[in-house]
Structure 1
Amino acid sequence: MNLRPLNRETVATTTHPVRILQFGEGNFLRAFVDWMIDIANEKGVTDSDIAIVTPRFRITPALETLHKQDGLYHVYLEGVKDGKPGKESRLVTSIADAFSPAADMERYESYITSPDLRFVISNTTEAGIRYEPEEMSGDNQSTFPGKVTKMLHKRFIRFNGAHDKGLIFLCCELIEDNGSTLRDFVLRHAAEGGLGNDFIDWVKNSCIFCDTLVDRIVSGFPHDTIDELKEELGYDDNQIVKGELYHIWAIGGEGYLTAQRELPLDKAGLNVEFMPSIKKFRDKKVRILNGSHTGMVPVALQLGCETVMNAFDNRDVNEFINTMVEREVLPMIDEERETLERFSAGILERFYNPYIKHQLKSIALNSLSKWEARNYPTAKDYYSRNGKRADFELFTFAALLSLYGPGSGFNAQDTQEHLELINQVWNDNDYRSTVASIVNSNIFTENFEEHIPGFIDDTARYLSEIRRNGMSVALKQFIEAHKNG
């Protein structure tokens, strides 16, 4: 192959002020946020380039490769849109700089004290936003909140506490209340580090910490098909990142209107929603997408399926999940039905993506706590509102117990003491006592039977049918019995 190198000498690019500092050089942010900024810049709704720094201030191989390519790379997306498989690629040019502060602290300080800087975007993993006592003198803070506190204090001093020099934080870490949690930790560091009340007031009143929820499957660097993709794109790009077409970014919390006004990504045709609080949105996404995944996995695995796509290719699994969402999940979400159905259709369409090999075993990790967090709230609300049990959700719970029980052939990855308890109380001659012992143990925080009378009996009946007839027969019989609602 005779490929062109990828850099700013071989590609004509447009530069913008660096208004965004990004903590994280990984695949997700590059295929999600940086991709969005590039589109918004092209459409003229933003005028912002990005400077990337490594969260731990270390030099990484990805950073070095990105630097060699002058921050340029392709995002290659594959998925299903409007029921049809589709692909698209984009050369992203929004990254103006990428470096490690440890190698160039002066450069880092020039960005954090720049009058152009307005946004900070981060993805430091779920473990990144944590609190540990930190010394605020010097530049050796080890945690991300510690680094942010030090960064903001330097900016506060540089601009003498000017209100308009505060920053807007858009955290992409997959934890609840990510932005407001970072804010709390920064204020704690400021107080315990003796940085003064004026600085604390400036953080409270001049900086905005939005809570966000991000969603896009990003599979990363395409090792298996890299040569073919390079030839298709025409460049020797060693930072290609692959992902799915679907994307959504919910941004909320105090100050969300300011974030929307200053970074109007929604006006670029991107699936970005700004709202006062993302709690309802998070609950909706968790119940529809994550709840469907968690409910589907134990059923599909016991049918021999390996991926989400395999599962949805199975007519019975497909019908079961779609009916569960339509009858039990959507009615429990307080939102206009038409809007919910559009959202749900977009979510479930992703299950048909032939390009993403989403392994069921990976989704099955820690399914006990996942079922309680994602599926039980729907079952609980359903009984509270209708006085009836949510049969589909209870069937998924029975399927989960069958998967985790002895003799299933599945090696569950979950809390070891919970797995041991299930094995200890398991009795193939008395599934009711088995279910009761598991439900009434310390595995779960909620009392399922108290809030849903008959939960144990129904689950035991479904478990008995699955174990004695096999999942294929039990699922078909269940679907037939619930044809008419």
Structure 2
Amino acid sequence: MHIGAGSFHRAHQAWYLHRLLVSGDSRCTIALGNIRNDANSLLDQLALQRGQYVLETVTPEGKRDYETITSIQKVLPWDAEITALVAQGADPSTQVISFTVTEGGYYLDNQHQLDPRHVDIQADLKGDVRTIYGTLARILTQRMVLNAKPVTLLNCDNLRHNGERFRNGFLSFLKLKGDDSLFNWVEKHTASPNTMVDRITPRPTPEVAARVNAATGIGDKVPVMGEDFIQWVIEDGFIAGRPALESVGVEMVESVLPWEEAKIRILNASHSCIAWAGTLIGQTYIDESTHQDSIRQMAWDYVTEDVIPSLSPSPLDLNKYRDVVLARFGNPYIKDTNQRVAADGLSKIPGFITPTLMETYQRGQIPRATAVLPALFFLFMQRWHRGELPYSYEDGVLDAAAMHSMFESADPLHQFVSDKALFSSLADNPDFYQLMRDTVKRLECWVANPQQKLKAQAEALTA
């Protein structure tokens, strides 16, 4: 059973399970549902199509392929009590419960612990089902009562140590809830392997359905599209059996750490850098922003100067991985939007960026290239505060009133840099504050003249 009916799941995990079915291994299929009611129209249409839809993939050279995905064989209708999710999750035939709820959907603080102050967590502690924690508590309570068979809880989000941190958050939630019996059952009867997932999957536009119809003759109302690159790395720690994923290209490993660190810091952080920067100079798409020389240089410098030294030695060729990632971002046929990638910055900074800032300082270096990323986000949110973004900004942990208050203060940047939830111990570091002040000033000049090289601007400011 998968929780989270977004495009990424349908282009990624569902594709791998479909490949298993195509190979003749029909032992595992997917039941798909959602925690909230924001995907009801998608689920309704998928149900009309018997769970099937067309996946369009496109290479950087523009070659498009089409495949009907058949692995979702049960669509779980939504209601406020998540009745179908509970029934399916408690069913003995469900051996894996996987989920994609975005980085902000785990409500973790800068120490990676559950933040119980959030209104959604407070609601779920009282029995509601707004979060993955409240949802799984209700599902697993029923599973425990009915059969108590083990189940693997598989995190498929871009979260460092995602299985471990989800599990710690979930057990903390159950402890706060005072549910000792379920806490003990979860400890003994579930497993939460760490994973790394990767495939760029933009929100589908009407043009996707038109291309699918023209190429295949299928009138699919809910197709999905993504790049041709795909990767899934999983620690082989399932508790109740698993699909033979290794036979369809999934890498089953003892530890995902080298892969997840490279992916989160090189791909995810650079992706956000490009989205924030591109938005600031009036661009809409990731590919056009990547082809802006100054923006590409920001991402390249960040990875080369600060990330690669932090992650070395590595079993991966990090220089090659950097170049492949930037080539993927520049794919002109994906048309991934800056809006999609720019989302959830308040979770991405502590998760994707702050570790590199801290480790660069620990090596005795100044993280000038990495400081560009949070400085871009500061300027991005300044635009949001002024109502000047060209689109709505989505962030699962954004306190809009507090953010507006920060930008109305005498020194918004000082408040931003002093936020321990974003920058951990660096929030007390005057050198980091000065670095951020210098970087923001330099970027303000760049936004006014994006054709000028950033290093030239830095030299001009210093002079």
In 2, are the aligned partners of 1:174 and 1:213 still within 8 Å (CA)?
Answer: yes
Task: Tell me, in whole angstroms, the C-alpha distance in 1 between the residues paired with 2:169 and 2:427.
Answer: 37
For 2:456, the equivalent position in structure 1 comes to 477
Q: Give 2:388's match in structure 1, choosing from 391, 411, 414.
A: 411
Bigger shift: residues 84-93 or 171-180: 171-180
Partner of 1:78: 58
Alignment of 1:7-406 (within 5 A): 21-44=1-24, 47-55=27-35, 60-80=40-60, 84-100=61-77, 111=88, 114-124=91-101, 126-127=104-105, 130=121, 132-133=124-125, 145-159=133-147, 161=148, 165-172=149-156, 177=164, 179-181=166-168, 183-184=170-171, 187-188=174-175, 192=179, 196=181, 201-252=184-235, 256-258=236-238, 262-270=242-250, 272=251, 274-276=253-255, 281-297=259-275, 299-301=277-279, 303-336=281-314, 338-360=316-338, 363-364=341-342, 370-371=348-349, 374-385=352-363, 387-395=364-372
> Any conservation in 1 of the 2:202–2:337 contact (CA below 8 Å)?
no
C-alpha displacement of 1:144: 5.1
Query: 1:186: how far off?
Result: 7.5
1:115-173 Cα deviation digits (max 9, x unpaired): 543122234565588462356xxxx97765455344434444544x5xxx311121335
Displacement of 1:39 in angstroms is: 0.8
Secondary structure in 2 matching 1:169: strand
Q: Which deviates the most, 24-33 or 371-380?
A: 371-380
Cα separation, 1, equivalents of 2:311 and 2:203: 33
The CA distance in 1 between the partners of 2:443 and 2:29, in whole Å, is 58
Worse-matched range after superposition: 291-300 or 85-94? 291-300
Distance 1:399 1:474, change over 3 A: farther
Hey, what does 1:15 align to over in structure 2?
A: none
> Retained in 1: the 8 A contact 2:95–2:240?
no
For residues 143 and 378 of structure 1, the distance between their equivalents in structure 2, rounded to whole angstroms, comes to 29
Q: Distance in 2 between matches of 1:351 and 1:436?
A: 32
SS in 2 for 1:77: strand
Q: List per-residue Cα deviations over 1:330-357 (Å, max 9, x = no partner).
A: 1111442643334333432321121233
Deviations 1:357-395 (A, max 9, x none): 33335545575775565434323322321x332332345
Structure 1 or 2, whichever has the larger Rg, is 1
In structure 1, list runs of 5 or more residues that go unmatched.
1-20, 427-433
| Contact kept? 1:295, 1:393, Cα under 8 Å | no
State the match for 2:118 in structure 1.
none
1:229-279 per-residue CA deviation (whole Å, 9 max, x = no partner) reads 213112222231222333333434xxx433697234233124x4544465x
**Are 1:303 and 1:471, in contact at CA under 8 Å, matched by a contact in 2?**
yes
CA change 1:92–1:381 in 2 (3 A) is same
The structure-2 alpha-carbon separation of the partners of 1:117 and 1:463, relative to structure 1 and needing over 3 Å to count, comes to closer
- Mapped to 2, the partners of 1:298 and 1:101 lie a distance apart of 34
Distance 2:10 2:191 in 1: 23
Is the CA contact (8 Å cut-off) linking 1:120 and 1:168 kept in structure 2? Answer: yes
How has the CA–CA distance of structure 1 residues 202 and 316 changed in structure 2, closer, same or farther, with 3 Å as cutoff?
closer
Write the distance in 2 (CA, Å) between the matches of 1:472 and 1:186. 49
Change (3 A) 1:189 1:102: farther
Which has the larger displacement, 224-233 or 256-265?
A: 256-265
Residues 182 and 209 of structure 1 are in contact (CA less than 8 Å); yes or no, is this contact kept in structure 2?
no
2-side partners of 1:346 and 1:78: how far apart? Answer: 15
1:301-321 per-position Cα deviation (integer Å, ceiling 9, x unaligned): 455433221122223332342
Task: Note the alpha carbon deviations across 1:409-457, whole angstroms, 9 max, x for none.
Answer: 983668565566556557xxxxxxx977874688965565975848626
Query: What is the alpha-carbon distance in structure 2 between the residues aligned to residue 416 and residue 347 of structure 1?
Result: 36
Amino acid at match of 2:212: L
Say how many residue pairs are matched: 432
Distance in 1, matches of 2:7 and 2:276, equals: 30
Q: Report the 3-state secondary structure (helix = DSSP H, G, I; strand = E; otherwise coil) of the residue aligned with 2:202.
A: strand
CA spacing shift, 1:70–1:178, aligned 2, 3 Å? farther
Measured in 2, the distance between the counterparts of 1:216 and 1:143 equals: 24
